[in-house]
Amino acid sequence: MHRMLTLALILLSTFSFAQKAPLAPSGAVNVLTRQNDNQHTGQYLQETTLTPTNVNSGSFGKVFSYPVDGQVYAQPLYVQNLTMAQGGVHNVVFVATEYDSVYAFDADSAALNPNPLWHVSFLNPPSVAPVPCSQGAGICQLFPVVGITSTPVINLATNTIYVVVRTQETTGSTVNWVVRIHALDITSGAEKTGSPATICSQTGNAGCSLAGSAATFGPHHQQSRPGLLLVPEPGFPQGVLVIGFSGDSGWVLAYDPTTLKLLASFFTDDEKSHSASKFPGIPGQGHSGIWGAGAAVVADPNGTIYAVTGDGYWDGVTNWGDSLVKLTLTLNSSTGTYSLVPVDYFTTSDQACRYAHGKDYGSAGPLLVPPQSGTIPNLIFTTGKQDSVCEPNNFAGYVINRDNLGHTGGQVSQMTLPDGGAEQSPAYWSTGTKQYIYNGGNGDSIRAFSVSSAGVSTSGVMATSFVFEEGTSVVVSASGNTNGIVWALELGNDPDHQPSMNPMVLHAFDATNLTELYNSAQAGSGRDTAGPAVKFQVPMIANGKVYVGTATELDVYGLCPCGH
């Protein structure tokens, strides 16, 4: 009844599966998970076409677009040279929407292939519909409906793509809120054996106990915002599927991607242990969501999981507001069951103030910095919301030792950001001699922080002249250590504006000096204008093109005779 098509791509990356899980075919230039790898470095290092020399309004611009049925919050994904079930070989871009659709488009030409290669919808109006945004604490943070928000992930070894879908399902006078995982064949959109699997289906404010959890997962309010991950794990040849949630409370769920069996769950707020409540009567109390603007869950090459949380109650035992929590999937040999065990954590020293004023530490996703040669080789870069009430010194960024998170206030260093902090995710790139982390704060430029054996600089070493009023998640394209370009999207209006009206604007900056090379408003006359802006969106670069999801369409940018 619910056929769904997913979106995913498993990126061949230096820092992703570390040879422990299935990789893309040799030579492929795929983008298969959000921000390019499990560590969310945001770097695409196989780009040999786009360079700082040719990305300008005279030779680069919008080359085509595809209409879609709703807002695209998930990052588009890409597979090269995919043999489709109906025949033919294509470079394919995958797009998922809030109206519970997944599209597979030809990534190279809308003129030659104007229709989707396949399209799957999980709706059956009027009985099966996406969830109205007003359902869930009465706040429309994603407008006007909530269907597929998180970026899917794919395993090329099995041609499977995984996607999380929310629906509102009506039978007579009964309304069920349902969250499901679908595992689909990327060549056709067909469901794989055992798919879909229901995470939770309940009426009203009722919830589900997942893997024996003490807290309650309420499908009426839970939203899967962080991109899905496939992480290596002994005993699971295809790795483990990891899904993060925000809403009633924060959740991390681990599934066997072959059987879609739930292995273990971790929740960030045990409402039974305290009386604080943001949303009375709602299971989980609405604390400590795991969202990070779509990027709150990452994993290191060994499969250790790190999840960052928003503001909420904290006790360091079962309540984890404003924290970065390190999780391992642990097998109980006597029972044969698994648990997601918190083995370490970092919590901001101003956690109580953040909770009181709604200043989430987990408003942006973490970045696992590639190993360094110093005394602390494994670092995590994180940023969050900031307010002078809680941080008089404007500390909104934290560098943390991955091998010893430091518990409360135990960061390695802090960096200052303008009042407002950052609600979007950073990216990393190395020139071979210099390393940078690029971060775009609210009402601020994109700043580059230097990385070395001594750690991460406490202030930016260079910045764009352009200011992003609503912040931006950045990515980098390069040919290895050369021709680096920082790509970013400008929203143009409040990210919660309903509906979004102003077009998304694509920006490109030279990664070595942050000089602007191009933006999609330069050419005038609407030549390169994108569709209406949406938050959480990240530009995806692959094989000489840049793909941008909007509220109404997928826009594709590339080299063209634009100036003639």
pLDDT of residue 281: 42
Of 152-161, 186-195, 368-377, 390-399, the range with the lowest mean pLDDT is: 390-399
pLDDT of residue 422: 67
Look at the alpha carbons of 290, 292, 293, 298 in this order and tell me if their dihedral is positive or negative: negative
pLDDT of residue 19: 31
Please determine, for residue 35, whether its predicted confidence score (pLDDT) is greater than 70: yes
Percent of the chain with pLDDT over 90: 70
CATH architecture of 34-559: 7 Propeller (2.130)
DSSP state of 344: E
The pair phi, psi for residue 308, each rounded to 5°, is: -110, 140
Look at the alpha carbons of 309, 312, 317, 323 in this order and tell me if their dihedral is positive or negative: positive
pLDDT of residue 141: 75
More confident residue, 288 or 8: 288
Q: Please report, for the chain, the start and end positions of each structural domain, with discontinuous segments joined by +.
A: 34-559
pLDDT of residue 136: 55
Cα–Cα distance measured from residue 9 to residue 23, given in angstroms and rounded to the nearest whole number = 10
Q: How confident is the model at residue 496 (pLDDT cuts 50, 70, 90)?
A: low
Q: Which residues pair with 201 in a beta bridge?
A: 178
Q: What is the mean pLDDT of residues 513-534?
A: 94
Q: How confident is the model at residue 471 (pLDDT cuts 50, 70, 90)?
A: confident
Please determine, for residue 20, whether its predicted confidence score (pLDDT) is greater than 70: no
Please determine, for residue 16, whether its predicted confidence score (pLDDT) is greater than 90: no
Helices in 358-508 by DSSP H: which ranges?
A: none
Q: How confident is the model at residue 540 (pLDDT cuts 50, 70, 90)?
A: very high
Query: Using an 8 Å Cβ cutoff, are 475 and 541 in contact?
Result: yes
Please determine, for residue 497, whether its predicted confidence score (pLDDT) is greater than 80: no
Nearest alpha-carbon partner for 249 in 206, 310, 297, 307: 310
Q: Which amino acid is at 198?
A: T
Please determine, for residue 515, whether its predicted confidence score (pLDDT) is greater than 70: yes
Q: Which residues pair with 170 in a beta bridge?
A: 175
Q: How confident is the model at residue 102 (pLDDT cuts 50, 70, 90)?
A: very high
Q: Which amino acid is at 473?
A: S
Cα–Cα distance measured from residue 14 to residue 24, given in angstroms and rounded to the nearest whole number = 12
- In whole angstroms, what separates CA 555 from the centre of its chain? 19
pLDDT of residue 2: 38
Q: What is the mean pLDDT of residues 220-232?
A: 93
Cα–Cα distance measured from residue 438 to residue 478, given in angstroms and rounded to the nearest whole number = 14
Cα–Cα distance measured from residue 237 to residue 251, given in angstroms and rounded to the nearest whole number = 24
pLDDT of residue 440: 87
Query: Using an 8 Å Cβ cutoff, are 49 and 482 in contact?
Result: no
Q: What is the mean pLDDT of residues 318-336?
A: 94
Cα–Cα distance measured from residue 156 to residue 259, given in angstroms and rounded to the nearest whole number = 17
Q: What is the mean pLDDT of residues 390-407?
A: 87
Sheet holding 323-332, edge to edge: 297-299, 305-308, 323-332, 337-347, 407-408
Q: pLDDT averaged over the chain?
A: 88
Nearest alpha-carbon partner for 103 in 111, 131, 113: 113
Q: What is the mean pLDDT of residues 545-563?
A: 94
Hey, is 167 helix, strand or coil? strand
Q: How confident is the model at residue 236 (pLDDT cuts 50, 70, 90)?
A: very high
pLDDT of residue 421: 60
Please determine, for residue 88, whether its predicted confidence score (pLDDT) is greater than 80: yes
pLDDT of residue 9: 34
pLDDT of residue 397: 85
The pLDDT tens digits for 134-168 are 775 445 777 888 999 999 999 999 999 999 999 99
Q: What is the mean pLDDT of residues 427-456?
A: 94
The pair phi, psi for residue 436, each rounded to 5°, is: -135, 150
Nearest alpha-carbon partner for 354 in 272, 425, 409: 409
Task: Annotate 407-444 with b (16+ C-beta within 10 A) or e (fewer).
Answer: eeebbbbbbebbebbbbbbbbbbbeeeebbbbbbbbeb
Nearest alpha-carbon partner for 509 in 520, 499, 519: 519
Please determine, for residue 431, whether its predicted confidence score (pLDDT) is greater than 90: yes
Tokens for 376? Answer: 């602390």
Q: What is the mean pLDDT of residues 230-258?
A: 94
255 burial type by CB count under 10 A (0-12 exposed, 13-18 middle, 19+ buried): buried
The pair phi, psi for residue 385, each rounded to 5°, is: -65, 155
Q: How confident is the model at residue 493 (pLDDT cuts 50, 70, 90)?
A: confident
Tokens for 39? Answer: 């560590």
pLDDT of residue 205: 81
Which residues contact residue 87 at a Cβ distance below 8 angstroms, ignoring those fewer than 6 apart? none
